[in-house]
Structure formats: structure tokens, C-alpha cells
Amino acid sequence: MGSRYARVALVLLNLALLSAIVFLVQHAVRRRPATAYTGPLPRDLAVEAGGRAAVADPSREIGEALDPPPPVTETSEVTPPPPVVDPAALAGRYRLLLVSEDRQDPERSTAIVASSSGGQQRTVMIGDDLDGYEVVALEVQVDGNERRALLVARRGDQRQELRTERSPRP
């Protein structure tokens, strides 16, 4: 008999819990804020397009408005054309800046070359491609108190060398 009363009590508690949940949900849905919003409506804050059609690329228009182009200044000096350089010669296209030579493992030697036109710098190792030339040797030649870095590149039978300027040995 005790289990029958326990089941009835459990059913009544479940019904009470269910009715409390339904009441809270209905109360939350029907509830309105105590004060109404009195500010401007979003459509009142809209920016007028000035009568123009929709902008195809709004970021471009914003960029043009924020970053006006610099004024054009007239110069009377004419810059001379760059010197004509043999396009096949690596020495005409690159300057050798630095060679880090590893005498125990020459394959780990590296060099830094820069474009002679003032462009980017590039790091190369033995076996790398440098505008169609394969880098075959990187070394530092020491002559008394002077040392020079040397990069040797080869394309087929053509051999090209890049050297640094002479610098005193530290």
C-alpha cells in the first residue's frame, strides 16, 4: 500500500512541476518591458545615398573618401633611363650581399643576394635556382687581410660568378 501512495505522490509532484514550467514560460512570453523605447527608429538613422544607384564596391568608395590621392607635382628634371644591362648576366640583375660558409658541410652554406634594381633580397643555398641558374658553390675567399664572398651559378655550359666588394678582415 505504501508504494501506491508513493506513486500517486510522484505523479502529483510531476504535474505540479510541469504546470510551474508552463506558467513561467507563458509569463515570460507575454511579459512586456516596463518602458517603451522612445529613441529614433533605425530607418530614421539611414544615410541618404545622394540619389545615386547602389554602389558596386562600397569599400572602394570609402577608401577614396578617406585616402585622397596625393597632389601631382611637376618636376623639371628628367630622370635618365637605367643603364642597359645584359639580361642573361646574373651580375647585372643581382648583387651578392653576404655568404655564410659552412666548411664542414658546404651544402649548408647560404648566401643573400639582392636585386640590383633595388627590389627584394633573397636567400639561396647550393642547389637552389636563381633565375634559371643552379647555385653550385658558395665560399669566402681570404687573401691576407681581405676576404671576398663568391657565388658560382651554372646553367648548362654557362658559368656566372657573383662577388662582393673587398672588405677588411675583422
Predicted confidence pLDDT, tens digits, the chain (170 residues): 688 999 999 999 999 999 999 998 888 777 766 666 677 777 777 666 655 555 467 677 777 777 766 777 776 666 666 555 455 578 788 888 889 888 888 888 899 998 887 778 889 999 998 888 899 999 888 888 888 888 999 888 888 888 886 554 55
Q: What angle do CA 30, 34, 39 make, to 5 degrees?
A: 115
Long-range contacts of 66-72 (CB under 8 A, 24+ apart): none
Per DSSP, the three-state class of 46 is coil
Q: pTM, whole model, 2 decimals?
A: 0.45
Tally of CB atoms within 10 A around 163: 15
* Unique residue bearing C-alpha cell 508552463: 22
Burial of 92 from C-beta contacts in 10 A (0-12 / 13-18 / 19+): middle
Domain boundaries in the chain? Answer: 1-33, 90-168
